[in-house]
Structure 1
């Protein structure tokens, strides 16, 4: 039975070899890379990624990454393309072809068809002199000195290098497009990520009669009843025009009691927090969460552009909505 040290040594050797393969890419991010980015950015259609075998698996991931970061893309199996799926590719598209050897027959077979349609071809290969590399409008060198496989046969270091080069393309295009977190959210509407990036304060805040609110000059005891009745741990203190001039929270109450203030004989003006933190209803709920975390508060009043109270939100609302 192989001892643990052998497994550890093998694993570390694999990581070292693949790390070297990735390090070698640094100097290959050059004018060829920039040309590929410019061509993909100018494409009015989709980026069609093709590749066979392990290159195909990597190609599917690259296509998914491009699509989720603002560059419309999908994967087409090159063998299927020769049997009808070429109809999925239009003259407005651009093809990104992956092949470590650069001579994969199923991929090379597509070259005359792409040329006839006038479709630009970008390739990633490990051989600058290969058929695919020479036929490409832009070629990205992803060659590796050695596969991590001790037989130097199983695609390991080469697939890692190709994947990293694909990520480099995707992120460069993302930045060039000015792709935002909200844009990203529309590609990821499901799960907690979608909730964090799509949900706005207006979607979950309490409005109308559910807003905890008292007028300046209100007795502290009545303000406490408002906090208790609305159950958000906060009440806005407003002037006669419903503009927020302060807030009073559970924390303010504890501090007031520490100062021996009598709730029955005090007014809210004496104990409220002025210059309080408020939020607009059009910001992301995740931004409201960040504000709460930063200022160590559990609730916020939502205001319009004129500082009128239009809603309220607390940490429980964010938890319930799955933002936290």
Structure 2
């Protein structure tokens, strides 16, 4: 029987080309291609932006120091040990398909990083899981392929997954309570084709660069400035609404920076609400944001998916 693991993911390191002119004002926020209303598939949303074969790279980071972690020693083939090479992650294929019962079947195939093509890859493990696509189970999806997954009631022992999509590339972040010691997992992925149950490995054809560094960066480059925001917020109380606004980010402390312009943060506001936020700077001018908010009674209250563009 295959082992099971969480549907984890992330995308760091990809710098996507800027499409269109730079904004000189915040009066007009352009809506990105294929960015539409957030609704779970149980409400009629197609899964065309979630299903398929996603090629990429997986890296883990220490929950204590934030440092990039090498893979466990027992995964490393003798040839790699002889070269005294440190291996900081896996090449991977994430295969996603809708199954009966409003669920996703997710298969993660890990392979040792290769210098050649598919024949050189060493496949140490395959993980499979079936995920419920229900808001009652803590899943809130958006038609562009972004989603937030976690417990419907906040618990410090939980793990959350945020998937931030931009076109056919995405970042998936699997993160625990940020005040704890568990590791964070980051996936950088690109859509490669229709679902084929992981029959192909990325090999020399991989389109995603491997993640380098520990994520140290100047916060002002990533977060500060004036941004034009466009997106949607799902609220448990009244469904979804469209959001369009101008925000200005100043100096702020962020819990965790990861490579590739990815941040993870946790804020408790004056009303006792807990906000879990991830962001991904896909370029100097554009970032994707996911926010998951729990009420003062620690019940899931709302989830937002935004695209911010620098003014």
- Per the TM superposition, whether the score is higher than 0.5 is no
Structure with greater proportional helix content: 1
Q: Which has the larger radius of gyration?
A: 1
Structure with greater proportional strand content: 2
- TM-score, length-scaled by structure 2: 0.19
